[in-house]
Structure 1
Amino acid sequence: MLVAACSKDEQGRPDHMPEWMEQDVTFEADGLTLHGTYRHRPGDTPGPAALLISESGNTDRNGDNQVAGPIGNMRQLADLLTGHEIATLRYDKVGTGRTGLGPFAQRPQDVVSAVYTAGAVAALAFLAGQPASDPARLSVYALGEGTVHALALAGDTTPGAPKVHSLGLFQPLPGRYLDIITNRVKADGSPETVVTWAAAVEQIRTAGTVPDDLPDGLGAIVNKNNVKAVVEADKIDPLALAAAVPAGTPVLLTCSDADSQARCDAEQPLIAALAHTELTVVELEGVNHVLRDDPTDNIANYAKQDPLSPQLVTALDGFVGE
C-alpha cells in the first residue's frame, strides 16, 4: 500500500521523492508471531524511525479497542510522524488484530506484562534492523500502559539491544497498577469500600489471590480470571523504569486535566523520576485519554474519529523539531 507524500510546497521536499509505503510485516517474540504495519519510504537510505506502542488491553496497532471501538489514534500518530519524515512501526499486541493469542490460546492467563514487554523488545529490534532505520535515531512513542514498555526499552542494557534516542510518553502510568486503582477508590469510594479494597490489595500482593465479593465494580478490575496478570502488572514500578532511562535522553511527557488516568498532579512522582533526562512536560487541557479534545473523557466518544488534539500536535511538532 502506498501513502501519498505531501507536496514540495507543504513540506519542502523535492518533487521526485518516492511515496511512503505501508507494509504488512511480522516478527517473532518467544514463539509468538506479531503482525504490524511498517511505514517507510522505498529504498535503504537510513533515516529516523519510531516504534508506536498502543494502550493496554485489547488495543491493536491502530489504537482500536474491542470495548471502545475503532479509535484510530495510533494510526493518526503515524500520520503525524510521516509529516516529519519519520518511518514508523505499529503492531498488534498479543491478543489483538492479526497477532491473536498464538501459543497462548490454551493458556490466556499466562498473558502477563512480561509478554507485552517481550513483544515491544522484538518490535524495536525489527525496526532497528531495517535498512531505512538509522540506529542512532530510533524513538519510541507510547500511550497509557504502553509507556511502561517504552520505558523498559529505553533502559534496556542487554548486550546488542537497540539504543532508544528519544521517548514520547503520552498520558503515562504514574505508579504501580494497584496503587493507581487505590487512589481512584480513595477519591470516589465510600469509607467501607476503601477499607475493603485496601485489604484486597494486601491479599493480592501477598497471596496472589483476590476476594470473590469486591464491591462497587472492583471485581471487574481484578478477579480470579485475571489476578495473575494483575499481580505481574503491579510488580512493575514506572518510577524505577524511569530512573533507568539514560541521562540526557529527550523525553516528551503529556498529562491532562481531563484524563482521570493521567492527571498532571498524579504524574509528579514520575516527572521527578525523569528529572535526569532532557524532559519536556506538556500539561494538556480538556484532552481525553485517547489524545483528542473532549473534557468529558467519555469512553463513548473515543471512536468518533476526531483528529488528535491540536495541543498534542503542537507539542509533538516542537519535540520532533528540536
Structure 2
Amino acid sequence: MNRFLTTTLVLLFVSLGASAQTEEPIHYKITVPAGADLTLDGTLTLPDDTKKPVPVVLLIAGSGPTDRDCNSGYGLKSNAFKMLADSLVKQGIAVARYDKRGSGTNLQAAIKAIKPEEHRFDFYVSDAVGFIRQLQADKRFAGVYVAGHSEGSLVGMLAAGQTNAKGYISIAGAGQNIVEVMKAQGRQANSKELQAEVDAALDSMRAGHIVHPKNPILKAQLSPSQQPGLISWMQYDPAVEIKRYKGPVLIINGKNDLQVAVGEAELLKAARPDAKLVLFDEMNHILKNAPANRIENIKTYADPKLPLTPGLATAIAQFVKQH
C-alpha cells in the first residue's frame, strides 16, 4: 500500500472515530452578586446521530480552581471530567461541564469581578441552577441529571432540588458539615496543638464569627477575606439537604480516596436509604485507580493519561437510563 493511501485511511479512521460525538460551547452570565460582570464558559458534549432526545448530565467540579476538565494550576492535571464526559457520550448520554467561578477561562476575570470577601457558597448554586435551566429548556434533552464532585456534590444537591432535576449523583461528596470534614482532614497532618487551634477556629466560624488565628500556618489558610465564603458553606449539612431532594439518588465513592472517606458516602446513604451506593475498591479522589499509599496516590493527580476507574462511567450511565 502506498504511503499516500495509508495516510488517507488513517485520517479517515480518525475522522470516523471523532464523529461519534460533537462538542459545542455553552455559557452562563452570572446573576449574583448584583452588578458583577462575569460569564462562565463550558462544554456540551453530545452523541452524534441521535434521532430522539437524550439524557444530559451536568457535571459540577469540586473545590479550589478546578476547571471543567478536572485540572487546575496547582498541579492537578487529571482530565478526569473530560474522560468521564467522553465515556458517557459513548453510552448515549450527553454531558455539560463548565468552569466554575475562579477557574479555567474565567480565573482572572472572576478575581476582578468579585472581591474574595463578597463570595458566598450560594453563588455556586445559583450558577449551577442557571446551567440546569438552560439544559431543561433545550428540546434535545429528555431529562437533566446533576452530578457533583467533592464540593460540587453539595452544590449539585442544592441545585437539583431547586430545579427538580430528574436525578442527582454525588461523587466523592461529603456526608456531613464541611467543618467536620476539615477537622478530619487536619488530623491527618497536624500536631495535636495545631489541630486544637484548628478545631476552635472552625467551630467559631460555623457559629458565624470571623476568627484571627495566631498560628502562621492557620492564619494563611483562614485569611479574613476568605472566611465569609467558608462561613456560608458551613451553614449546610449534606445529610439534611439530600433528604429535601425528592428525585432518585446515586452515591459514588472510592475506597482509596484520601480526601473524602467512604464514611462520608455512607452518611449520605443513611440519610437517603433509597439511594444507590456504589463503592470502588481502588478509586481515589480524582476518579482513577490508585494505591492507598499517600505519596503514590497523590502522584496520580498529575497523570492525565491514567484512565478512569473501570466501571465508573457505566455505573452512572445505568443510573441515568434506569430513571
Q: Into which bin does the TM-score normalised by the smaller protein fall?
A: 0.7 to 0.9
Aligned-pair RMSD on alpha carbons? 2.6
Contact 1:293–1:308 (CA under 8 A) maintained in structure 2: yes
Q: 1:166 corresponds to which residue?
A: 167
**Deviation (angstroms), 1:232:** 1.3
- Are residue 77 (structure 1) and residue 78 (structure 2) matched? no
- Are residue 272 (structure 1) and residue 270 (structure 2) matched? yes
Contact 1:292–1:307 (CA under 8 A) maintained in structure 2: yes
Q: 2:299 corresponds to which residue?
A: 300
**AA matched with 1:237:** D
**AA matched with 1:302:** Y
**AA matched with 1:89:** A
Q: 2:213 corresponds to which residue?
A: 212
**Deviation (angstroms), 1:24:** 1.4
Give the total of aligned pairs.
298
Superposed, 1:67-216 pairs within 5 Å as: 67-100=74-107, 102=109, 105=112, 107-134=115-142, 137-156=143-162, 161=163, 163-186=164-187, 189-206=190-207, 208-214=209-215
Contact 1:152–1:241 (CA under 8 A) maintained in structure 2: yes
Contact 2:169–2:249 (CA under 8 A) maintained in structure 1: yes
CA distance in structure 2 between the aligned counterparts of 1:39 and 1:311, rounded to whole angstroms? 20
Deviations 1:273-292 (A, max 9, x none): 122x4x11112212110010
Contact 2:22–2:45 (CA under 8 A) maintained in structure 1: yes
CA distance in structure 1 between the aligned counterparts of 2:86 and 2:72, rounded to whole angstroms? 19
CA distance in structure 2 between the aligned counterparts of 1:281 and 1:43, rounded to whole angstroms? 30
CA distance in structure 2 between the aligned counterparts of 1:20 and 1:129, rounded to whole angstroms? 21
Q: Classify the secondary structure of the residue corresponding to 1:90.
A: strand
Contact 1:68–1:300 (CA under 8 A) maintained in structure 2: no
CA distance in structure 2 between the aligned counterparts of 1:202 and 1:265, rounded to whole angstroms? 21
CA distance in structure 1 between the aligned counterparts of 2:193 and 2:76, rounded to whole angstroms? 35
Could you tell me which of 232, 236, 261 is aligned with 1:263? 261
**Deviation (angstroms), 1:73:** 0.6
Q: Classify the secondary structure of the residue corresponding to 1:99.
A: helix
CA distance in structure 1 between the aligned counterparts of 2:15 and 2:271, rounded to whole angstroms? 41
Q: 1:11 corresponds to which residue?
A: none
Contact 2:252–2:265 (CA under 8 A) maintained in structure 1: no
**AA matched with 1:269:** L
Structure with the larger helix share: 2
- Are residue 50 (structure 1) and residue 57 (structure 2) matched? yes
CA distance in structure 1 between the aligned counterparts of 2:112 and 2:49, rounded to whole angstroms? 36
Percent of pairs identical after alignment? 25
Contact 1:71–1:304 (CA under 8 A) maintained in structure 2: yes
CA distance in structure 1 between the aligned counterparts of 2:26 and 2:15, rounded to whole angstroms? 20
Q: Normalized against structure 2, the TM-score is what? A: 0.83
Q: Normalized against structure 1, the TM-score is what? A: 0.83
